[in-house]
Amino acid sequence: MTDIIPKTKEKMQKAMESLNHEFGQIRAGRANASLLDRIQVTYYGVPTPLNQMASIQIPEARVLLITPFDKTTLKDIEQALNASDLGLTPMNDGNVIRLVIPQLTEERRKELAKKVKKVAENSKIVVRNVRREAMDEAKKQEKNGTLTEDDLHSLEKDIQKVTDDAVKKIDQMTAEKEKELLDV
């Protein structure tokens, strides 16, 4: 019939992957290597992702251990971490860098929970926009005579089902992240 449903599913899946990535950036008082995904270190004059220059381990629940592959980059990594918006102070012992993630206050937890809801709502908006585009495409095909009226009706139902599934998944992901944030 048409490729509207697979394209719609793919776009909605990308929105959920993006949401998952955004959630990984939100600090929950626990060590998570994805906190460092955005960190760029100047390495021989070229901005390089930190995770390509060092191994990142989590030896304890609230500690990130950064071991550079090249020990000469230790100072550069430390400078990049200090310059970042993480708000964490790196501890350099000459071989590795430790990042201790402080326990979150109740107020900060609630603030982050609000941020999670906002990010999730933006993802839902993206999903609804994808649905609208798919519906418009289906109506266009019906006007062109590619689809019958009955096909259009069933396609609209399928598009709505895919949308409902995506929104349900986003709600589920949001609830999990909120639970992670609010658990002490």
Nearest CA to 33 out of 66, 4, 7 is that of 66
Q: What is the pLDDT of residue 27?
A: 67
Q: What DSSP element (H or E) covers 68?
A: strand 63-68
The answer to whether the predicted template modeling score (pTM) of the entire model surpasses 0.75 is no
Angle at alpha carbon of residue 148, lines to 147 and 150, rounded to 5°: 120
Q: Tell me the per-residue pLDDT of 81-90, one tens digit each, with 9 for 90 and over.
A: 888 877 778 8
Helix (H, G, I), strand (E, B) or coil at 3: coil
- Region 33-100: CATH code: 3.30.1360.40
End-to-end alpha carbon distance in the chain: 51
In the CATH scheme, what is the homologous superfamily, with its name and number, of domain 4-25+105-182? Answer: Ribosome-recycling factor (1.10.132.20)
| Domain coordinates in residue numbering, the chain | 4-25+105-182, 33-100
Name the CA dihedral angle for 25, 26, 27, 28, rounded to a multiple of 10 degrees: -130
Helix (H, G, I), strand (E, B) or coil at 155: helix
Q: Tell me the per-residue pLDDT of 113-156, one tens digit each, with 9 for 90 and over.
A: 888 999 999 999 999 999 999 999 999 988 988 888 888 899 99
Q: Tell me the per-residue pLDDT of 37-71, one tens digit each, with 9 for 90 and over.
A: 888 888 888 888 888 888 888 888 888 899 999 88
Q: What is the pLDDT of residue 129?
A: 95
